[in-house]
A and B are shown apart, each in its own frame.
Chain A
């Protein structure tokens, strides 16, 4: 497993190297193990499963039997277990410590939720079983829907969106359907404040709306005057994130809602940050028309390295009739799924996904909700907000908050504390890796220069937060002292990999392994140009 180190030619923007002087034969460093791709370790004749001999039959594949080899490697079960275990050890995770990615809400994932999601009667049921055989599953969805509606103070919920961005699509489709039903399909402008999530303008644009940005004021909120001035007979909706991406509550939200409604438009609220107010504030009381809820954020379903998510959308009375199919109803015979061709009520705009939604995520979210209860969820919001304000208070001696507080569940800094230090926001973040932390969100939101967005969440203890703050304060002091710029530029030194050449990856995309050029220890590099 000797790792070839001579593949640096052509790399752009390489960092000054300070590789450890003591190289090992294997390339491993104690528990930090170099790992080949499965395609470089497989052998024909190995297999990780035992399957019986198929019964002898004449095939009915219509002459389309696969002729050539697929190319998949052959590995035994122990090899597979070792491979993926080694890979896992190259990952940071919330189970390892503070994961302060602002706007991503990385909180503890309870293992009870994993256990119940795997009960055969929940994890091993088919989406198209007779409804009489899945009454428990339908009751579970209905119960989660009841919690979501009650917590948000909204009369309806669409459960099927597969993720937050899919939920935005759902909500905006409902708005488009409602406008069409009103004969106002000509309303084609959507107002999106600058501090909105990047998905908001992308969603509106994907649905054919013209996106008009609304500037932020000096205190990090939407400019209400500019918003009012932009409202007109062409405006379909506003998409606002609240709490917003600066970690602040849009205190004029009622004024915004009234103005939007008076102009005949709808109010979409991006609910990605709902965890800051869950149980303390009902979005329905703020005058919104629809809002998606990222179950993985607010109700802690594990995000598994980038998904799955789940993004149910709560809807106001005005939009409820347009929710997509399917949905669950209860009548004398029990719970029933309303699918196509069963228009008991409403004017659904269609179907967003093959089946009923992310059931596995529903189960975990409901378990999290029931574990906390109405009292605990309120405490969730309070502790998330308290932790973020505490981080801001502790760090403000060395770092520069972008706005005055109080913040909600995340706190935002700009990079002015690094001014003239020679250390960039990126360097600062990479140095955190060597301290054993996942960096915060960087360069987002765009409204703040060199943004550093920190979200501790409610599941971090004060001890963990204090250590995290101490480490950041030390880094900030070192950066400002100016005597360790090179060390910041070289960071991380202790991670499984040092800084990776992202420019090369984009310029010469290699998106798959290829058998050509593959030799032991010198994995293939083939440009896919």
Chain B
């Protein structure tokens, strides 16, 4: 019981001070029939640090880690090299074990880094204001659609077929229970979608991902213009935030709301979470933006300081009138993101993006040269779609047995469409080396 400081002597003394004979007396408001007489028998007793550590080493040993095997997995989560300083700094107890900065005088550390994070997000996305983060990119996307409904007072969202299928599912869940419609286009890696044609007077927003789920990069300016003309908002989703180091930012293309998954910078794979959602918009929509916000102000001595602000939009005060029930952000992951991006800076992020793209181009060309294999993209950043001569899931499984994580079969996310059964998503980051690409090419040759 190494985490519990009270001794039996303490407990006796404290019970005496309280005026209770036993701790059971303190639970006297609980219906007697619901009180368990002792520890639940099906569950084991406490264990020492050594035993617990060993148990988790055993869990870890049952997994094949991209840390020690060639990996080309993407589809919304990307393995990048995270500088050692990031993890060291976020483990400082003053950051790690702090709570929501309700008392700004003694939480300026958290508040200042969130202010820096907000600024970085506006710069990356080319937008005017950003919040202090969302749970992740997918929940951020659903919140963006809700926000668009509030801004436009309309209730039909149009979802691109290139939107990540899980993001689409999260938006559809939200739509189902929150009373709006989400019309999704079919997922087709080669489709040239004419989303502008679908925008009508009921449309609150168009949600489009760039690069798309299939890796395709496109100019969204014409779509933005069409949305604007029809009074709808353009929501741009970015699942690979490193791409913003190389590509025209969504804000410059005319996006009204930009949502990104920030996992690529600082956060790591973590089997899917916690991640960090980036959320940015135009100033005129500020008061409809969900999530937590940090603002600059002055203290009683006139010194610059930071506080949580505009929280009247949130559940704290408005209760059933709140714009969202969110009561937290992804603070620690935002810290990891902001430190990694600060280490990179302007030059580093641009170089990292170039490196990702160039390596992806290299591998795409090598894969395209394999007989019977076709690379479907004409544009991409660091991920592209490959058509194989046989079902992709089986190929991925066969390569996994050789210790190679070849990519994500599209059928994993879109299982009911036979047309995507032979498609493989291949992602390439700066972590890919010849020691990884060589075995992948050799493995594909053998397996196909």
Contact = CB atoms under 8 A, between A and B. Distances in A.
Nearest to B121: A512
A26 interface: no
B57 to A, nearest CB: 7
A126 B119 CA distance: 29
A205 B321 contact: yes
A237 to B, nearest CB: 13
Contact of A51 (B272, B306, B332, B348): B348
Given A372-B1, A433-B103, A340 B415 contact: yes
Nearest to B377: A60
Contacts, number: 741
Interface in B299-358: 299-307, 309-310, 312, 314-322, 324-333, 335, 339, 341-352, 354-355, 357-358
A99 B100 CA distance: 12
A386 interface: yes
A80 B338 CA distance: 10
B258 interface: no
Interface in B86-100: 87-100
A12 to B, nearest CB: 10
Given A127-B77, A358-B273, A279 B39 contact: yes
Given A202-B314, A405-B26, 7 more contacts: A46-B345, A302-B97, A354-B272, A438-B99, A458-B6, A500-B297, A505-B296
Contacts of B68: 120
A495 to B, nearest CB: 4
Contacts of A137: 59, 62-63, 271
B296 A510 contact: yes
Contacts of B412: 128, 339
Which one of B5, B53, B63, B124 has the greatest number of beta carbons of chain A within 10 Å? B63
Nearest to B179: A208
A99 B354 CA distance: 45
B185 interface: no
Interface string A33-57: 0010111001011111101101111
Contact of A163 (B47, B328, B349, B415): B328
Nearest to B5: A461
Interface in A103-126: 104, 106, 108-110, 112, 114-116, 118-126
Interface stretch (B16-24, B190-198, B201-209): B16-24
A373 B46 contact: yes
B31 A162 contact: no
A281 B34 contact: yes
A14 interface: yes
B94 A523 contact: no
Contact of A302 (B4, B246, B320, B332): B332
Given A55-B358, A87-B113, A165-B326, A355 B273 contact: yes
B98 A135 contact: no
Interface residues of B, number: 216
Contacts of A176: 177
Contacts of A90: 106-109, 112
A6 interface: yes
Interface string A408-451: 00000000000000000000011001000011010000000000
Contacts of A511: 115, 118, 129-130, 286, 293-296, 309
Nearest to B165: A340
Contacts of B47: 370-371, 373
Interface in A193-251: 198-199, 201-208, 211, 248-249, 251
A510 B295 contact: yes
B447 interface: no
A83 interface: yes
Contacts of B55: 370
A330 interface: no
A492 interface: yes
Interface in A434-480: 438-439, 441, 458-462, 464
Contacts of B307: 500, 502, 505
A42 to B, nearest CB: 7
Contacts of A3: 303-304
A251 B30 contact: yes
Given A393-B19, A433-B105, A280 B36 contact: yes
Contacts of B346: 44, 69-74
A504 B298 contact: yes
A355 B219 contact: no
A11 interface: yes
B286 to A, nearest CB: 7
A402 B156 CA distance: 48
A387 B124 CA distance: 48
B379 interface: yes
A353 B138 contact: yes
Q: Is the interface of A mostly helix, strand, loop or mixed?
A: loop
Contact of A91 (B94, B343, B405): B94
5 contacts: A70-B350, A121-B61, A136-B60, A202-B314, A499-B299
B15 A386 contact: yes
A353 B61 contact: no
A385 interface: yes
B67 A65 contact: no
Contacts of B379: 60-62, 64
A351 interface: yes
Counting chain A CB atoms within 10 Å of each CB, the highest count among B33, B116, B249 belongs to B116
Nearest to B103: A439
A382 to B, nearest CB: 5
Interface string B61-76: 1111111100101011
Contact of B105 (A139, A173, A495): A495
Nearest to B316: A198
Interface in A474-529: 490, 492, 495-502, 504-506, 509-513, 523, 525, 528
B183 interface: no
Contacts of A303: 97-100, 328, 331-332
Interface stretch (A259-267, A312-320, A359-367): A359-367
A8 interface: yes
A1 interface: no
A101 to B, nearest CB: 6
B283 interface: yes
A406 B21 CA distance: 13
A37 B292 CA distance: 20
B45 interface: yes
A309 interface: yes
B170 to A, nearest CB: 6
Contacts of B4: 376, 379-380, 383, 458-459
Interface string B162-192: 0011110110110011110000000000000
Interface in A69-95: 69-75, 77, 80-81, 83-85, 87-95
Given A84-B89, A93-B94, A163-B328, A367 B60 contact: no
Given A511-B294, A512-B119, A495 B106 contact: yes
A145 to B, nearest CB: 13
Please indicate which of the listed interface residues B77, B105, B405 has the most CB atoms of chain A within 10 Å of its own CB: B105
A52 B352 CA distance: 9
B298 A8 contact: yes
Contact of B269 (A38, A127, A310, A523): A127
Given A128-B73, A354-B167, A163 B53 contact: no
B208 to A, nearest CB: 14
Contact of A497 (B83, B87, B105, B312): B105
